[in-house]
Structure 1
Amino acid sequence: MSASVPEIGAENSAYNIEQTQALVLLSGLPTLGTTDSIAIIEMDPDSAKFGDILYDYPLPKLDAPMHHLYYSPNGRLYATGLGSDCSLAEINLVRNAQAEPMIDKFECINTNGQNVGEDIMWHSVNGELYMFVTFMGGSDLSQIDAGTVGVFNPQTNEIIKIIEARQSQVAEGKPYIKFPHGISAYGDRMVVTSSTHPAIATEVGNTVTIIDLNTFEPIETIVVEDANPVGFPSSPVEVLFVRPSIVEGVKPAVLVNTLFGFETWKIPYNEQSKVFGPPEKLYDGATEGTAVPLEFYGNEDELFISHGMPGVVKRYDLKQLPNLVSSGADIKAESGAHHMIFYKTATGRKLIAVQNNLLNLGDAKDDDPTDVDFIAKLNDHSLTVHDLGTGERLGEINFKQRYKKGIDNIEALFGSGFTHHH
């Protein structure tokens, strides 16, 4: 996430029709006979083509869906994948002879055996740019304490180092990395979360780990947990290192969402001593009526946090970070509220679109063997579009009803105006 990204369209006086088009990862649903793809869809609720798939690129058959889309600082497009066949890929998004956007290549990247890719972050260390990727399954999915962070050359995509510290293989009290999911960094300190084993029903974490980027070694593991409202460990999921590039003059701190703890935490950071303070709970979903907090997103003025249950996006004053001070009423989406994009229509109306889907597993009522009851409750398979200022819902696209597919992720086409959480 960066507070320095200009408002969408501010760089062009003329309206660009592609500003209301989005790139989505779609998953075929096992009982409906559909297959995975990457699509470009129209997102202007005032358009007759709202919700139409303008372009669809079929993905190869893999052991699990692709999960996240990311643009690198120089505009290259990447995706992480939830399986072992293709845990990380680069996608060549180009224009054809008519200047229309299209995909001409989908290429899996060699991860040296790392499985179940989740988040990607680009960060400079001592003047050199790296691509960091969290792999929840690490080098062996059979490990109950699996998980690695891959360090890649951002130009060649070659693996430079695998950061691994299994809890069962380090001395008691030493830092470890387990099921890393969220990732964020400031200066020479990187933080990754310990969420859940990719099998979901087995092991669950309750920590974040600090990595020294001078050595690429873990140096501290911090427990982030209080109540256990569903009987599981807290499962920290996404993380945001609040830093001066986001809020000028801010006291740096780490914000952490806990999937099963239903909470948002703050871990203060002393930039001079490089010491992290004790975690402080900022938001308690169990008492506030929300569950499954997921993503951090932001624009120039606000921080947005999605909560999968009941399906809302909460908004906070960016300038008040790292504390959470409400900046408006909740945006009411649907169950599984997750990823977002921000964009403008041709009339200049500022919008937010929310993807309402946690994971594209099936539903028991469809006799789908991939069903997990808890996850199925967080799958609305939809995008809802709202006025950014008022939160008013202006439209909805249900991919399961319309296209017999689920939606895994949404990104702005060519990355215009999209601000991610790292």
Structure 2
Amino acid sequence: MKFKFNLLSLIILITFSNCQNDNHNSDLPHDSSFYIDYRSLKGLPDGIAVIELDPEAPNFGHISSQLELGIGVLPHHLYYNQSANKLFTTALGGSYLYQIKTEKDKNGQPKLVNATPIDTGENTVGENLFFTNDGRYFMTFMGGAGGPRDGSIGVFNANNNQLIKTIKAPIQTNPNQFIMYPHGISVNEEKGIMMVTSTIHPDLTTGMGNTCTLLDLNTYELKETYLVADSQTDMSSPVEVLLLRGKFPQYALATTMLGGDIWIAPYNAATKKYDAFSKIFDGSTQGLGWALEMYIDDNSRLYVSFADPGKVLVFDISNLPQLKLLKTLTADKGAHHMVFFKTKKGKEVVAVQNNLLDIPNLNSGTISVIEIETGKTLGTVDLRTKYGILPESIEGTNGPSSYMHH
């Protein structure tokens, strides 16, 4: 399994990167140190931290650097830009989007310096980012301008972080093609398309979604809104979407948060859209719920986190639409984001961040480090007990720590 580049590949990556979401991490000093977004459980400011996650390291679980963002900011997702030389975090509160400045100390250890808020206009509740090769990035805003059935996509200039355009398509205007509560986003630049999910109102009660919407990447026009649920009344809450691209079979994959399932749609070259979504994996048949994140390695293996009861399932996607389950890894309740790396002894591991929005029974507040080959948990960091914080997301300190995510 190849989750990492060597140093030469990193240099090539930074110079000629194709897409932030299709990169490996690098074999550099301290590449078992990771950035985490966190929320305070003590009424203190939320922020970002650097933590060591190699169970074989003497300082396993130690936080070496912290950057406070503010009380109630709730940083949510960490992202690198497409050339992996800028770090960002989205946020559910505060300014919703920040660029993070980092440095290396005299030992080459990553250090957090400051955060610069980015103006998101009227757009609220920042969720996912996607950087494209043409100098843009796209951001989903689950709250939109704040209405009960709102939601928007911000288009930004990647060079100066200026908001270029806000894409809005209210369900009230067209119930057949709309953007509402967007969370997940994925882009296929070669095909000139992007897709966003319709998940849930930010207060988790006002409304829920059960669709994904396909847009033209350049005109921003909506092409189709797809049902990703058993019925129109099944509020499945699609949370993440992944448009497979490059060498992978040309399908769209989506996870449903409240459905607990994985859905698939084939790309149709004639219509230049996807055909209808169908359920490819039913979590309830396996005692699983709250399907969340998807990651793919370069050996056509798909890793999907299920927050309830806290599992990561590994599938073979080389023969889609057949999805073959290879193994099940046990994390903790709230299993969510992942990073991939090698321990000092060369073991291939996945670190799983176990917390979803501090929702009861889905908020273990731990990070599980699991050996992929054996499924053995090599170490667990209990951030709730040790630091009084809950991890919200996780990312590498030497660049993206997965091959393909969104």
Q: Name the TM-score, length of structure 1 as normaliser.
A: 0.87
Q: Deviations over 1:189-215 (max 9, x none)?
A: 111000000010110011111111231
Work out whether 1:23 is the aligned partner of 2:19: no
Q: Which residue of 1 aligns with 2:57?
A: 47
Query: Shift in Å at residue 279 of structure 1?
Result: 1.4
Q: Which residue of 2 aligns with 1:38?
A: 48
- Give the partner amino acid of 1:306: S
Q: Deviations over 1:163-184 (max 9, x none)?
A: 001111x1453x1100001111
Q: Deviations over 1:233-283 (max 9, x none)?
A: 11010001112x142xx2x11111111111111111112431321211101
* 1:132 alignment partner, one of 121, 130, 138: 138
In structure 1, what is the Cα distance between the partners aligned to 2:175 and 2:204?
25
Q: Which residue of 2 aligns with 1:312?
A: 311
Shifted more, 9-18 versus 378-387: the winner is 9-18
Q: Deviations over 1:332-358 (max 9, x none)?
A: 001100000000112211111001101
Query: Shift in Å at residue 319 of structure 1?
Result: 2.2
- Give the partner amino acid of 1:265: W
Shifted more, 130-139 versus 88-97: the winner is 88-97
What secondary structure does 1:167 align onto? coil
Work out whether 1:395 is the aligned partner of 2:379: yes
Query: Shift in Å at residue 35 of structure 1?
Result: 3.0
In structure 2, what is the Cα distance between the partners aligned to 1:285 and 1:342?
24
Q: Which residue of 1 aligns with 2:244?
A: 242
Q: Deviations over 1:1-45 (max 9, x none)?
A: xxxx9532544799743111111112111xx34432211111110
Work out whether 1:408 is the aligned partner of 2:404: no
Q: Which residue of 2 aligns with 1:79?
A: 89
Q: Which residue of 1 aligns with 2:345?
A: 347
What secondary structure does 1:208 align onto? strand
Q: Deviations over 1:110-141 (max 9, x none)?
A: 011200010100124xxx332000000012x2
Identity, in percent, stands at 35
* 1:182 alignment partner, one of 181, 184, 189: 184
In structure 1, what is the Cα distance between the partners aligned to 2:43 and 2:166?
38
In structure 1, what is the Cα distance between the partners aligned to 2:371 and 2:221?
44
In structure 1, what is the Cα distance between the partners aligned to 2:282 and 2:77?
27
In structure 2, what is the Cα distance between the partners aligned to 1:290 and 1:280?
18
For 1:81-96, list aligned pairs within 5 A: 81-83=91-93, 85-96=94-105
- Give the partner amino acid of 1:158: Q
Q: Which residue of 1 aligns with 2:255?
A: 257
- Residue 276 to residue 50, structure 1, CA distance change in 2 (3 Å): same
In structure 1, what is the Cα distance between the partners aligned to 2:170 and 2:254?
22
Q: Which residue of 2 aligns with 1:7?
A: 3
Q: Which residue of 1 aligns with 2:18?
A: none
Unaligned runs of 5+ in 2: 10-25
Q: Is the Cα–Cα contact under 8 Å of residues 19 and 345 in structure 1 kept in the other structure?
A: no
What secondary structure does 1:421 align onto? coil
In structure 2, what is the Cα distance between the partners aligned to 1:216 and 1:236?
21
Query: Shift in Å at residue 318 of structure 1?
Result: 3.9
Work out whether 1:356 is the aligned partner of 2:358: no
Q: Is the Cα–Cα contact under 8 Å of residues 34 and 405 in structure 1 kept in the other structure?
A: no
Q: Which residue of 2 aligns with 1:102?
A: 111
- Residue 275 to residue 41, structure 1, CA distance change in 2 (3 Å): closer
Aligned length: 386
- Give the partner amino acid of 1:336: G
Q: Is the Cα–Cα contact under 8 Å of residues 65 and 112 in structure 2 kept in the other structure?
A: no
Q: Which residue of 2 aligns with 1:369?
A: none
Q: Is the Cα–Cα contact under 8 Å of residues 65 and 82 in structure 1 kept in the other structure?
A: yes
What secondary structure does 2:381 align onto? strand
Q: Is the Cα–Cα contact under 8 Å of residues 212 and 228 in structure 2 kept in the other structure?
A: yes
- Give the partner amino acid of 2:31: Q
In structure 1, what is the Cα distance between the partners aligned to 2:400 and 2:170?
39
- Residue 92 to residue 117, structure 1, CA distance change in 2 (3 Å): same
